[in-house]
Amino acid sequence: MIYLASTSPRRRSLLRREGVRFKTLRPGYEEGGEAKGPPAALVKKHALGKAVSVAGRLKNGAVLAADTVVVFGGKIIGKPKSKKDAVRLLGRIQGKWHTVYTGVAWLEVRGGAVNKKRVFSETTRVRLKPLDRGAVARVFRSVDPMDKAGAYAIQCREPDIVAEVRGSWTSAAGLPIDALKRRRLI
């Protein structure tokens, strides 16, 4: 059995779309603090923290966890602190290229102990379309920006704000399905 260490509806949706059978468990891990260090290392650290927090509750199974950050201008852009901050964040990256890092942790638990661990990260480049105030307001009516790195969701279709993606679309959405398949984890 696969246990998804996440409350993200996007990650659940991506797995369901692939026909993966899984159960969801809320991780007992808090990212906390300021996002410092190389983005790839940071997302792997947070994904592993989430996975470990769930693995301790299992006797047998596989734990899948992920974490995503957006990097623009060499700085990590996290989740907005307020609606005003969300408007500011989206305004900074709209019309420009930025990088989305997603870290993944996969732990196999047997007899209550972790016997196999895989941790990796994927990088995707995304360019959003230029957005005026009306488009930003439409985005925020479609998607709550408060729980999303960069204050947007790549899967937002109304309005479609993505101009171009270089890399894995599903990785930018929060779970790199192709990488999981390549590694034969799903």
Residue tagged 């509750």 (tokens): 57
Nearest alpha-carbon partner for 71 in 96, 88, 104, 46:
96
- How far apart are alpha carbons 65 and 96 in whole angstroms? 29
Is the Cβ–Cβ distance between 128 and 161 less than 8 Å?
yes
Segment 130-135 long-range contacts (CB within 8 Å, at least 24 positions apart) = 130/94, 130/95, 131/90, 131/91, 131/94, 131/95, 131/161, 135/159, 135/161
Name residue 110's beta-bridge partners.
Answer: 113
Q: Is 67 a catalytic residue?
A: yes
Q: Which residues are catalytic?
A: 67
